[in-house]
Every structure is written in C-alpha cells, then in structure tokens.
C-alpha cells in the first residue's frame, strides 16, 4: 500500500504547541532528512542505510542522532513511528549480522550442506564473520537466537569434521560400487582420496584415530596394513610395463615412485627372504 508520507510527516502530534522560530527550522530540517531517508527506502528496501556514503557527514550524523535519542528515551513517539515505517536501523551491529546471515542463507539454498566451502579468499569480511560465529559458540557467547538461525542453514561449526565426512561419503560410494578392493581404484585415479586414506592409516598406526572414525572406516573395509592397498596395485603396474616394454626398460619408462617400489621389493627379497613388508 502506498504511503502518503507528505501528509504524515507534517501532521503535528496532539497536544504539542505549534512550532515557531528556531523550533520550526529544526522541525523542517528533520523532515528534510526524513524525506531523504524515505526516498532511499523506496529505492533500496530495508537495507537503504547501507548505501549512504560516509562522506555525507550531516546525513550520517542525523541517523546517529535518531539512534542515540531512541537509546536514551528522548526520541519523540511520532518521529519513532515514522522511522519505523521505513525500516529504520536502530542497531547497526545486529543489522550487519543479519546482512551476513541473509547471504549465508542464500548460499545454503543454492549449494546445500557445503555452502560455506569454499569462500573466495578475497571475501575476507564474510570469512571473518563465519569464523566469528564458531569462536563465539565455542566460548559460549553466541546468542541463542543467532545459534538457532544458523542451525536452520546447517551452519558448519567444525570445518575439519565436515570435510572428513565429505571425503568419507565419497569413499563409501566407491566401496558400494567397487567392493572390498575400492581403495585400489582410489589410489590409481584419485590423488586426493589417496592422501586421505594414507592420513587415516597414519592416525591409526599412531593411535590417534578417533574410535568413531575407525568404526566407520572398518565398515568400508579399509586395509590398515601399510602396504596392503598399494602393493598389489604396484605389482600390476610392473607386470603391465614388463609385458609391454620388457624388464630392461623398467627403470627408464616407469615413474620414479614405481622404480622406488621395485627397489624396495628387491631389497626386501635379499633381507627378508622375499617376505612382503
């Protein structure tokens, strides 16, 4: 519904004496600033206060004065009512928080659970806001209402855990598609997955792997022995290379990692009687 601002802004509050002289000039100046704010509201919506350049000192000062008068209880009721009609921002910090939240909610609607990753490095203000929510929650200072809003968009409180689960889901899909030897496919075709598998094994050998994570990995038949996954894979690669090129070309045609593997097997054969280690 279209508001008739001009009529509203010039209506005197009941019981107030007709302004005169200096008071009349002050009232006129207030209405001029208000009409400018109302015009910005019509153009930009409830975030109109964000488009005001800081160089516009007098108008910025007028906005701050309204907030201050409201805070100390000295803002006239008729003026407060008029300002609320144009969604006046009484609390800048809360408004900035909501601006970032609205952006996060939009990303969640578009990208789903992993909307928070990756955030462009150039967008430092948004990245800082995301991290601040995690820090405040850990410290117990995050407002319950804000935490509730963030939970609604699957806010990621622990990025490390979320990234681990994302890779695990990929590993589980490979297991369901390839069967117990799924890790051989991963090691051959996916360096990121290969590094992740090695990391889980390293944590397991060091005794630092979380028991819940180990239970999940056991479900997809991960091989905990250091060489179980790669040994058979490397052997297949050597066989194929020898079949196609001949053993004499192995040192020249194979990648350095494969040559190193062959060297290790030759050393093991001499020292361990051919045992696979």
Query: Which contiguous run of DSSP H or E holds residue 266?
Result: helix 256-272
Q: Are 34 and 83 in contact (CB under 8 A)?
A: yes
Residue 161, token pair as written in the block: 């855990």
**Which residue's structure tokens are 């991290």?**
131
Per-10-residue mean pLDDT, the chain, length 277: 41 45 79 86 73 74 86 89 84 82 89 76 83 92 93 88 86 83 68 80 86 90 66 72 69 65 63 40
In the prediction, which pLDDT does 141 show? 94
**Nearby residues of 47 by Cβ (< 8 Å), 6 or more positions away:** 99
**Which residue's structure tokens are 């397991």?**
204
In the prediction, which pLDDT does 70 show? 85
**Which residue's structure tokens are 């409830």?**
46
In the prediction, which pLDDT does 272 show? 41
Domain ranges of the chain: 5-85, 92-152, 159-219, 228-272
């Amino acid at each position: 519904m279209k508001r008739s601002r001009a009529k509203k802004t010039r209506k005197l509050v009941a019981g107030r004496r007709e302004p005169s002289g200096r008071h009349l000039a002050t009232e006129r100046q207030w209405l001029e600033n208000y009409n400018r704010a109302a015009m910005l509201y019509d153009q930009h919506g409830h975030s109109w206060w964000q488009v005001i350049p800081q160089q516009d000192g007098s108008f910025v000062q007028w906005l701050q004065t309204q907030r201050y008068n409201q805070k100390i209880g000295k803002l006239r009721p008729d003026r407060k009512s008029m300002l609320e009609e144009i969604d006046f921002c009484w609390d800048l910090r809360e408004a900035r928080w909501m601006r970032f939240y609205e952006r996060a909610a939009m990303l969640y609607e578009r990208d789903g659970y992993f909307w928070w990753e990756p955030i462009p490095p150039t967008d430092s203000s948004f990245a800082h806001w995301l991290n601040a929510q995690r820090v405040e929650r850990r410290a117990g200072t995050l407002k319950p209402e804000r935490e509730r809003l963030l939970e609604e968009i699957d806010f990621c409180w622990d990025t490390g855990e979320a990234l681990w689960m994302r890779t695990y889901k990929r590993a589980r899909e490979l297991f369901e598609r390839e069967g117990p030897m799924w890790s051989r496919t991963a090691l051959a075709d996916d360096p990121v997955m290969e590094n992740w598998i090695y990391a889980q094994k390293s944590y397991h050998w060091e005794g630092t792997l979380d028991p819940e994570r180990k239970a999940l990995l056991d479900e997809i038949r991960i091989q905990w022995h250091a060489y179980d996954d790669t040994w058979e894979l490397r052997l297949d690669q050597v066989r194929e290379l020898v079949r196609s090129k001949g053993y004499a070309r192995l040192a020249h045609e194979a990648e350095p990692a494969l040559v190193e593997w062959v060297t290790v097997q030759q050393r093991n054969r001499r020292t361990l009687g051919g045992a696979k280690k």
